[in-house]
Amino acid sequence: MRDQGRLIEWFDDKGYGFIQPHDVTKQKIFVHIKDFAKRGPRPLVGCALNYVVTVDQRGRFCAKDVMYLKTHRQVPKKTSQTSTALPKMVVLIAVYWITLFVLTAMHKLSNTYFFIVILVNVVTYYFYKKDKDAAQHNSWRVKEQNLHMMSFLGGWSAAWFAQQKLRHKTQKSSFQQMYIVTIFLNIALVIFLVSPFNTFLK
C-alpha cells in the first residue's frame, strides 16, 4: 500500500530517518537511504515523500520504494543556499594550496611537509568514503576524532570535498563546528612552521 507523508527526522551520518504520514493518527515510518527508488538530493527534514509501507522482522513500519513528491519546493531552496556558499570555501581551499606551493618554492616550508599534506588529503577522502559506506551498511565506523585529526594535519580541504560529494557529516552541527576549528588549527600550524620559532621541518 502506498502512502504519503513528510520527513520529520533525518540522521544523515547514519543514513536513516522517520516519516510522519499525512494522516497524523498513523505511526511514524522508518526510512533508510537505500530504500529510495531513485538517486537524488539527500533527504531534508520537511520534504514530502511517497512510499510503500511494509513491516520488518521486528514489527516496525518501514518505507520502501520511496519517491520525492514534485510539489515539494524545499529541496531546490536548500540547493540554492548551498550553491551560494560553495564558492567561498573553494576560494579558501585554492588560496591555501597556492600559499603552500609558494612557501615551499621559496623554501619557507619544507618539501616534506608539502608532500605529507598531499598524502593526508588522499587518506582523508578515503576514510570519509569508508565511513559513509559503513553508515549505509550499519558496519564499523571511522571515529570522528580520527577524521578531525586528519583535517588538522592538513586534510581539511579533501574533507570538505568528501562532505559535499558524499553528502556526509554535513548536517551534524557539532561535527561541523569542530571541523571549522581544525581548519583554523591547521592554518595556525602552517604559520608556526614558517615562523622563526620552528626548528623542525625546514
Task: Output the pLDDT for position 61.
Answer: 87
Give Rg (Cα) of the chain: 21
Q: E strands, the chain, where? A: 2-11, 16-21, 29-32, 48-55, 61-68
Q: How far is CA 19 from the centre of its chain?
A: 22
Closest CA to 124 of 98, 163, 173: 163
Give, for all 202 residues of the chain, the pLDDT tens digit. Answer: 788 999 998 988 888 899 999 887 888 898 998 889 887 778 888 899 989 989 888 778 899 999 888 744 444 444 444 444 457 889 999 999 999 999 999 999 999 999 999 999 999 999 999 999 988 888 899 999 999 999 999 999 999 999 999 988 888 889 999 999 999 999 999 999 998 887 765 5
- Output the CA torsion 49→25→14→154 (10° steps): 70
- Go through 64-102 and write b for each residue having 16 or more CB atoms within 10 A of its CB, e for each that does not: bebbbeeebeebeeeeeeeeeeeeeeeeebeebeeebee
Closest CA to 13 of 135, 145, 191: 135
What's this model's pTM, rounded to 2 decimal places?
Answer: 0.59
* Calpha distance 184→180 (Å, rounded): 7
Strand partners, 6: 20, 48
